A and B are shown apart, each in its own frame.
Chain A
Amino acid sequence: MITFQNVSKMYPNGTHALNHVNLNIDTGEFVFIVGSSGAGKSTFLKLIMCEERPSEGTIIIGDTVVTDLKRRQIPYLRRMMGIVFQDFRLIDNMNVYENVAFAMHVVGASNKEIRRKVPYFLSLVDLQDKAHCKPAELSGGEQQRVGLARALVNNPKLIIADEPTGNVDPALSFEIVDLLSEINRQGTTVLMVTHEHSLVKHFHRRIVEIHGGRVVADTGKVEVR
């Protein structure tokens, strides 16, 4: 699903964010990306999303050599991904339903399709009763579940979760990762950046540790029973 071949990223200010990274993540895997602040985790995600281009090396996502992509082709690559943000990034003046529908409008879904799919994904994250609530009326955990529904609604092949539990209570963190695991069980590849060791320990999935721009530890593929 994701292949990094000898990937390095150096920013114009001279920061060497990633250094000769080689990594392969198969379709259907659930991978925790761990590492301290400034280790290169964000750059790793930005390279996958084509927000940044590598200074060296090749990145392949699905069948696409990302490093060869033209600027105008990037949006179509991003349509195979769903992103869950640490700060939820919900639009305040839209209710829960509209926030999820917004992601479908963007990719040109018909109103009929939106009316059919949004309630389904809201029920998947158990928020069907809060469809008309504004984000401010929800708890942190609920807001993140809206974010999750929004990331899922366009049927992505890959979910990128950038510290999704960073702004929710520890108890609710498990609930969020449980949901991600459930999504992963249905075949979606999940890439989750986190700082929370308790979560990583509890969920027993593949762990990739980045430090100083290098992959310093990789547990390898973990078979989930």
Chain B
Amino acid sequence: MKLSSLGYLLKEGAKNIWSNRTMSFASVGVLVSCLLLTGAAVLFSMNIDSAMQSVEGSNTITVYCTQGLPTLKAVQVGEAIKDIDNISECELVPKDQAVEEMLEVLGDNGTVLEGLMGEDNFLPDSYRISMADLSLYDETVAQITSIEGVEKIIDYSEIADQLTELDDMVTTVCFWIILLLGVVSLFIIANTIRVALFSRRLEISIMKSVGATNWFVRVPFIVEGVIIGLVSGGLASLILNVAYDNFISSLSILSFFTPLPLDPYRLRIVLVFLLVGAGFGMLGGLISIGRYLKKDVGVLTTL
């Protein structure tokens, strides 16, 4: 294809979008929604993964003593825990320290806990322990719970399980929604281009009569689809970036959860969105024009 033809065809494709602007805007809207939802689901999943890694990486178990256990007894519980072979670390967290740590985590929101120091403190004493060999986890937990004065053990495998469950659920729901929106976007793009094809059937018939190849007829409509896809990809990545930045800043007061920073992924998101958008647009264009040309537009047939 000659360069002059390429320039002409690109211009024609761009003109198509403006001529069918209502349908083009609808296509952009649906594709942006689809990309946004995909992006949000992926970021959510990445955050869950990161949270799970930090939880699993800490390898810490909290052993709570019985509520109101005298301090001496609590120290004895600690000694008994340290006597277990598989315990590598065992640190006492007195109940006042636990309240202080909660206050630190909650920041300004923790004022309600300020009066709970000393005698009014309802939290039990606890121990943070680490195991030397995680393969002996179940046996070690059984030994700890058998110690008199131990109320319960909280490990993070439960939290990790819940996070995995949540991640799986979000992934499944998002997968179906994305699939549905993907099909809808493809359908709307294909229809937008079909409308453009219909409104330009006279031009196509003339093109064919003077010897245009099918590719020459196709290119403007593929360009139209790709432009719709690129605009959608650009818009979706912009919205996702801005929305996620706002999300991070609004969660910055929570010190127990640090959202994944977007900076290392920003460029990748933009590129992937542009690529996926353009791919969808091109596919929509190819589907429409393929079906239209298959019927071989008549040259002499009355339009």
Contacts and interface: CB of A to CB of B under 8 A. Distances in A.
Interface string A73-110: 00111110111010101010000000000110111111
A160 to B, nearest CB: 9
B298 A106 contact: no
Interface in A99-140: 102-103, 105-111
B4 A110 contact: yes
A102 B9 CA distance: 11
Nearest to A80: B211
Nearest to A73: B213
A35 to B, nearest CB: 15
A49 B214 CA distance: 16
A12 B75 CA distance: 97
Contacts of A45: 300
B211 A76 contact: yes
Contacts of A106: 206-207, 210-212, 216
A175 to B, nearest CB: 23
A20 B8 CA distance: 44
Interface residues of B, number: 25
A49 B299 CA distance: 8
A49 B4 contact: no
B301 interface: yes
Contacts of A75: 208, 211-214
B206 A108 contact: no
How big is the A interface, by class? 20 to 34
Contacts of A204: none
Nearest to A45: B300
A201 B209 CA distance: 30
Contacts, number: 72
A89 B206 contact: yes
A106 B298 CA distance: 17
Contacts of B209: 49, 78, 83
A110 to B, nearest CB: 5
Contacts of B5: 105, 108
Interface in B187-217: 202-203, 205-214, 216
Contact of B299 (A72, A83, A87): A83
Interface of B: 1-2, 4-5, 8, 202-203, 205-214, 216, 296, 298-303
Given A89-B205, A107-B212, 20 more contacts: A46-B300, A49-B209, A51-B299, A51-B301, A72-B214, A75-B208, A75-B212, A75-B213, A75-B214, A77-B211, A79-B211, A83-B210, A91-B202, A91-B206, A102-B206, A105-B5, A105-B8, A108-B1, A111-B4, A162-B300
